[in-house]
Structure formats: structure tokens, C-alpha cells
Amino acid sequence: MAVLALRLSYFANGVSRLHGRTARKMWQGLWPELPEQEIPIGHVTNGVHFTTWIGEKMGQLLDFYLGARWRENQDRVEIWGRVEDIPEGELWQAHEKQRERLIKEVRRRLASRLEGRGLRPRR
């Protein structure tokens, strides 16, 4: 089935650069006339939507130290150089606040599921 999928697909890729290289080496027999680096299996690297990934508290901290326009200029090296100016204690405090929020949300969801099954959450 994998061979069929590779032959019929418009595009094939690994989920990282290393995975792409491994897949090209692994499936080289399907394209014996091509050198390994030309086998039509690419790669993609998973990205992160940074502004939503960092969380509200960290975003507020970055707004304060980097200026509100950092969100529109994430590719500007000079902006990220200012991260060094953020006191470690403030970074840690923002991290801890977000972790506390996560734990509260996990507990709330667990309690809701337990109640849905007729169990008492406190138990």
C-alpha cells in the first residue's frame, strides 16, 4: 500500500529533514534511475503559531519588554535581542502563572468528565 501511495501521490514528504532523508534512502528502489538526493520525497518542519502558543501572560511580558509591535515583526532579529533584557524572575513568574492556569483547566475538565460518568470529582 505504501508503494501504491507513493506512486499515485502528487507529493510525498517526511515530517522533518531527517525523516525526508531517511524516506528517500528507504524508498530509493522505487526510483533506481535517480540519485538519492533527487528522489521525489521532500520534508516539512512543523511550525508553531507563536503568538497563540506562548500564552497570555508570556505575551503580556513580551509586549512590555519588546513593544506591542513584536507580534507583527517576529522575523526582526533586533526585536528578539531585547529578550535578554527580561529579568529571569519575571519570565519564571509568567511561566508559573500559565502552568497554574493549565493545571486548573485540566482539573476542571477531569471533574466534568467524572461527573458525566456519575462519579464524584472529589473522590
What band does 65 get if pLDDT is binned at 50, 70 and 90?
very high
Rounded to whole angstroms, how far apart are CA atoms 31 and 11?
Answer: 15
**Above 80 in pLDDT, residue 64?**
yes
pLDDT category of residue 5 using cuts at 50, 70 and 90: very high
For residue 48, is pLDDT > 80? no
**Could you count the other beta carbons within 10 Å of the beta carbon of residue 39?**
21
Q: How many CB atoms lie within 10 A of CB 80?
A: 14
pLDDT mean over 40-60? 86
| Cα angle: 19, vertex 20, 21; to 5 degrees | 90
Q: Give residue 122's identity as a one-letter amino acid code.
A: R
- State the average pLDDT for the chain: 91
Is the pLDDT assigned to residue 17 strictly greater than 70?
Answer: yes
Mean pLDDT value across residues 63-87: 90
* pLDDT of amino acid 121: 66
Return d(Cα 101, Cα 59) in angstroms, integer. Answer: 15
Output the pLDDT for position 42.
94
pTM of the model: 0.58
**pLDDT for 47 beyond 80:** no
